Amino acid sequence: MPDKTALITGVTGQDGSYLAELLLEKGYRVHGVVRRASVFTTQRIEHLYRDPHSGDVRLRLHYGDLLDAICLRRLLNEVRPTEIYNLAAQSHVRTSFDEPIHTAEVVAIGTLNLLEAARDYRDETGINVRFYQASSSEMYGKVIETPQTERTPFYPRSPYACAKVHAFWQTVNYREAYDLFACNGILFNHESPRRGETFVTRKVTRAAARIRFGLQDALYLGNLDARRDWGYAGDFVEAMWRMLQQRRPDDYVIATGQTHSVRELLDEAFGIVGLDWSKHVRIDPQYFRPTEVDLLLGDASKARSQLGWTPAVAFKQLVRMMMDADLNLARQERTLFDAGYREGNIRTAPVEQIALPRRSSAEALTAVT
């Protein structure tokens, strides 16, 4: 196959990890951008990582940040990608009300930084790089019509969604103004066992599993009536890749075409472990949003006909998959607990008694390839 090289921002996130997996399977060289943090953040890609000293390694990690435009430019010149996937974001909607400026800087200006860098990189190297922007169904917000398609007007309802609308239109504008091969994937909610623990699906499956193993008793949630079109992240990254393989760049809705409420999610997840969720779920107002998105339901007909994309995993299978993974984790946690392990042991145990973690990918981050 021709030499394909991808740069992924947000490689340590849920989607970044599935996309890196997919592209490596397809023979790509994959470069991931990782933010510096005081702890390791590479757990989701640990299984893909090999020490760069060990021969022909196709996954490389680089420190970088969407807010550092100069660093992005340098990275593109060093890595020389043929495809760029911009997945990095402050992606939590509730948090965006608490951190609106940071969210706008990363999601809106960060995307612009990368588009500018991509345009100059293309012009300077002659490499006709292709650009994927992680747009979101949150942009539909207070929905104007149902189901939502590529033609449905946006009505954003959070700082996050407003910033995504900015990034969406910048991506369209770079396509039209500078002829950049730039696509928006308007992705509806997609989940997996790797979903962050504070998003509602994972919060529910993790709690149901931990309650089942006696590790917690209550689950605090917000709006149980919200409805989402929930798909599987592993299916959705395939659509991202397909968009960049087309002859012409375009924007696509990616969704399952089914919608479920948080209540239905609770029924499904707690049902798997034979528990009645109403005995455990409490409402905590802190999880309500100042403005809510009540209903999302996507129509992915265009992706089906033009990309040949359809989702393989439906809602019930998705919840089952997430429950299986969280039950495994809860079982391990229970075993540790029964063996006397308590959180905090690590702080009080003498250093020589603390098992050293195996060498992590984060230790071997390189600034150059």
Determine which residue in the list 62, 190, 212, 227 makes contact with ligand NAP, applying CB under 6 A: 190
Q: Which two tokens stand for residue 15?
A: 């989607």
Cis peptide before 147 (omega within 30 of 0): yes
- Shortest Å, Cβ 89 to ligand NAP: 3
Q: Are 209 and 271 in contact (CB under 8 A)?
A: no
Site for ligand G4F in 7-46 (CB under 6 A): none
What are the backbone dihedrals phi and psi of residue 136, each rounded to the nearest 5 degrees, phi first?
Answer: -140, 145
Partner interacting with residue 226 (select from ligand G4F, ligand NAP, none; CB below 5-8 Å by kind): ligand G4F
138 is an active site residue? yes
Residue 103 is a binding residue for ligand NAP (CB under 6 A)? no
- Half-sphere exposure in the Cβ direction for 136 (13 Å, CA): 31
User: Where does residue 345 fall: left (phi above 0), alpha (psi -120 to 50 degrees), or beta otherwise?
Assistant: alpha
Determine which residue in the list 15, 21, 83, 138 makes contact with ligand G4F, applying CB under 6 A: 138
Residue 221 is a binding residue for ligand G4F (CB under 6 A)? yes
Query: What stretches of the chain adopt beta strand conformation (E)?
Result: 5-9, 29-34, 59-63, 83-86, 130-136, 181-187, 190-191, 219-221, 227-228, 231-232, 251-254, 260-261, 281-283
Site for ligand NAP in 57-96 (CB under 6 A): 65-67, 87-91
Residues in contact with 351: Cβ distance below 8 Å, sequence separation at least 6, in sequence order: none
Q: How many residues interact with ligand G4F (rule CB under 6 A)?
A: 23
- Shortest Å, Cβ 151 to ligand NAP: 18
- Shortest Å, Cβ 286 to ligand G4F: 9
Given 136, 137, 192, 361, which residue is catalytic?
A: 136
- Shortest Å, Cβ 187 to ligand G4F: 7
Partner interacting with residue 133 (select from ligand NAP, ligand G4F, none; CB below 5-8 Å by kind): none
Q: DSSP label at 295?
A: B
Secondary structure class of 212 (helix, strand, coil) = helix
297, amino acid identity: L
Termini Cα distance of the chain: 21
Nearest to ligand G4F of 284, 324 (CB atom) = 284
136 is an active site residue? yes
135 is an active site residue? no
Given 28, 160, 232, 252, which residue is catalytic?
A: 160
Count of CB atoms within 10 A of residue 91's CB?
A: 22
Q: Which two tokens stand for residue 246?
A: 């087309």
- Alpha carbon 280 to its chain centroid, in Å, reads 28
Q: Which residues in this chain contact ligand NAP in the complex, by CB under 6 A?
A: 9-10, 12-16, 33, 35, 37, 41, 65-67, 87-91, 106, 110, 134, 136, 187, 189-190, 196
Which residues are part of the catalytic machinery?
136, 138, 160
Q: Which residues in this chain contact ligand G4F in the complex, by CB under 6 A?
A: 91, 93-94, 136-138, 188-189, 198-200, 203, 221-223, 226, 228, 262, 287, 289, 292-293, 296
